[in-house]
């Protein structure tokens, strides 16, 4: 279980990824999300990248009682995250 805001809940397979061209657009999209949905939590890995170098903006919203994670990235950040996933998970498998 993960702590989401003041609640503990499981994030199921509900999620959306928004890909845009430039980093400044990510924050415009975040503002739009805030104006349209009940935001539960924001994880800003753009301003505070993970040690691995991962950068993205994650916004968790509540829609009809369900938690939905929205990831917002640029095309380049998405490409990097996919490559990192492949290197970390798929290439380590014995084929």
* Active site residue ranges: 69
Give φ, ψ of 3 to 5 degrees: -85, 125
Query: How, if at all, do strands 2-4 and 7-9 pair?
Result: antiparallel
What is the chain's percent helix, strand, coil content, to nearest 5?
Answer: 30, 35, 30
CA distances from 35 to 50, 59, 60, 83 (A): 27, 13, 14, 33
């Amino acid at each position: 279980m993960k702590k989401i805001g003041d609640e503990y809940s499981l994030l199921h397979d509900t999620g959306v990824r928004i890909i845009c061209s430039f980093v400044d657009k990510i924050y415009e999209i975040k503002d739009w999300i805030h104006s349209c949905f009940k935001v539960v939590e924001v994880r800003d890995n753009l301003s505070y990248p993970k040690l691995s170098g991962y950068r993205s903006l994650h916004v968790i919203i509540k829609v009809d009682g369900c938690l939905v994670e929205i990831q917002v990235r640029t095309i380049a950040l998405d490409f990097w995250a996919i490559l990192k996933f492949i290197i970390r998970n798929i290439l380590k498998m014995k084929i």
